[in-house]
Amino acid sequence: MKALQFTGSLPRYALTLALGRVSRRAYWGGLSCLKLRDIPEPELPGPDWAVVRTRYAGICGSDIGLIRLETSPTASAFSSFPFTIGHENTGRLEKVGANLPPDLGPGRRVVVDPLLPCSVRGIDPPCPPCRAGEFGHCENFALGGLAPGLLIGGCRDTGGSWSPFFLAHKDQIFPVPDGVSDEASALTEPLAVSLHAVARAVRHGAPASGREDTTLVIGGGVIGLGVVAALRYLGDRSRIIVLARHEHQAKIALAFGASEVVLTSGPWEERLGAILGTGFHRPLLGRPIPSTGAGRVFECAGSVSALDAALRFAAPGGEVVLAGLVATPKGIDWSFIWRKELRILGTFCYGLEAVGQDGRPTAGRGEPTFRMALDLLASGRHDFGGLITHHFRLEDYRKAIATVLDKRSSKVIKAVFDFD
C-alpha cells in the first residue's frame, strides 16, 4: 500500500533547511524528508489490536509544522523513523483481535484516539499520570512494547492515517454514533484537542484578574473554532472575542457562538483594544502595550505573532492557555508573564475530563475526551462536517500541502486525504 512517511534522514533534513530558504516547496519536494512509498499492509500484532481502514485523514497544523521542519528537535526523542504521518482519522475496522468487545467487529465505523500511553504499550502497572487519567502526561512514550512515539503518526510500529490502513489498540478505539456522518467524525480528534484545552482551563479555576467575563480566542482555524464551540457546549457565558485572519473563518466563529470577531487586517490592535476597553502605553521601542485585556486567552494559531498577541492582550492576573504549537518561538517578550503575573497553561492532546456540561468540575476520573467530542458531534449543534472544505487523494499530497498553506486564496478550513 502507499503511505506518506517522514524519513528522519539527517542529510535530507539539513539539505531541505537550506533549500527551504529559497523555496518553501523544497519542504515537500523530491529531496525532502517526506516520501510517498510502498509499504506492507499491517498485520495484527496481538489479540488487543485492530487494523483500521482509513476513510478520511485530516491534515493538521502540526503535520505541516513537521513537514516544514518547524517541530522542536526534542520531539525526535519521542518518535521512531521512518513513520507514516497522520493522527486525525476516521474509518472502519478491517481486522480485529480476539480481545476486542463484540460491538467492535469488522466494518464498524470508528475513530481512534492516537495517543500511545502505558496501556497501549503494555506497561503494567501504568505510570502515575496514566493512573490519574492524564494520558498526555505519560512517562513512558519511548518505552514498552512499541517503538517510541507520542501518537500514531509518529511511531513506526503503528503506522498513521496518511495511508489506507493503520493499527489501533482496543483502548484507543471509539465507535462513531449512527447519527454522525463520516465527514463530521473526521473532526473528532481536533475537537477533542479543543475540548481538552477548555476542560483544563475550567479545572484550574477562574483567572485572578476579575475579568473572567471576557475570553479572547486567537486563531480562526479548526482548533480555535472548536474552542469557541467547546466553551459554549460546556456552559461558558463569557463574551468570546475571536481574533482571526480571514473573513470565511469569522462567519463560522460567529455561528459557533463567538460574540465578536476581529480580523487581523489594518489597525486590528486598535479595534481589539476598543472592544476590550483598554488603552495603550507607548514604549520607546516596540509595539503598543495594552493597559488591560481579556481575563482568559486561548492561543490556538500556533504562530509567533499569535503568542505575542496572547501575552500582550491578556489582562494583568489573567490566564493564557496554549492550545497552538509554537515549537521554538523567537522574538517573544516574556516580560509580560512576569510583570502581569500571568498564569500560563499548556494543553496537549486529551485524557479523562472531569468537567460537566454545566462547565463545572465533577467528582471522579471523568470521561474520555474523545467520547465528549463524539457526544458534541452527535448533539447536532453545529455542522462540523461542513468544516471539511477540501478533499485530496494521497498521491496529490503536494497540492494538498500547498492548499493548506495558502488559506487566503483557497479559503480552506480543514483539508483531508480521502481514501474512498
Q: What is the pLDDT of residues 171-220, one digit of tens each?
A: 999 999 999 999 999 999 999 999 999 999 998 888 877 787 999 999 99
CATH number at residue 56: 3.90.180.10
In terms of domains, do 223 and 275 share one? yes
Q: 16 and 87 share a domain? A: yes
Distance CA(90)–CA(316), nearest Å, equals 42
| 177, part of any domain | yes
Q: Is residue 142 part of a domain?
A: no
Same domain, 51 and 163: yes
Q: Are residues 254 and 162 in the same domain?
A: no
Claim to verify: residue 304 and residue 409 sit in the same structural domain:
no
Longest CA pairwise span in the chain (Å): 69
240 plus 347 within the same structural domain: yes
* Span 86-145, pLDDT tens digits: 999 999 999 999 999 999 999 999 999 999 999 999 999 999 999 999 999 999 999 999
CA-CA distance, 385 to 223, in Å (whole number)? 14
Is residue 126 domain-resident?
no
39 with 161, same domain: the answer is yes
Positive/negative CA dihedral, 357, 361, 366, 368: positive
Find the domain containing 99 and state its range.
Answer: 2-114+151-187+387-418
**181 located within any domain:** yes
Residue 279 burial (10 A CB sphere; 0-12, 13-18, 19+): exposed
- Domain count for the chain: 2
Residue 228 in this model has a pLDDT that exceeds 80: yes
pTM: 0.96
Residues 183 and 197 in one domain: no
* Statement to judge: residues 8 and 89 lie in one domain: yes
Closest CA to 359 of 212, 266, 231: 231
Do 160 and 57 reside in the same domain of the chain? yes
Specify if 369 maps to a domain. Answer: no
Cis ω on the peptide bond leading into residue 82 (within 30° of 0)? yes
